[in-house]
Amino acid sequence: MATRLAPAWLVAGTDTEIGKTLVGCALLRRLAARHARVVGAKPVAAGVESDGVNDDVARLRACSTLRVAPELDNPYCLPEPMSPHAAAARASVSIDLERIADAVQRLREQADAVIVEGVGGFLVPLSMREDGGDLARRLRLPVILVVGLRLGCLNHALLSQEAIAARGLALAGWVGNQVDPRMLAPQANVELLRARLRAPCLGIVPHLAQADADAAATHIPWSP
pLDDT, tens only, 139-173? 999 999 999 999 999 999 999 999 999 999 999 99
Q: HEC profile for 12-76?
A: EECCCCCCHHHHHHHHHHHHHCCCCCEEEECCEEECCCCCCCCHHHHHHHHCCCCCCCHHHHCCE
Q: Which one from 20, 29, 42, 108 is the annotated catalytic residue?
A: 42
C-alpha 149/C-alpha 135 separation (Å) is 25
Domains of the chain listed by start with CATH number: 8-217 (3.40.50.300)
- The residues facing 10 across adjacent strands are 116, 143
Q: Is residue 1 classed exposed, middle or buried when 0-12, 13-18 and 19+ CB atoms within 10 A define those classes?
A: exposed
42 among known catalytic residues: yes
Portion of the chain with pLDDT greater than 90, in percent: 95
pLDDT band at 40 (very low <50, low <70, confident <90, very high): very high
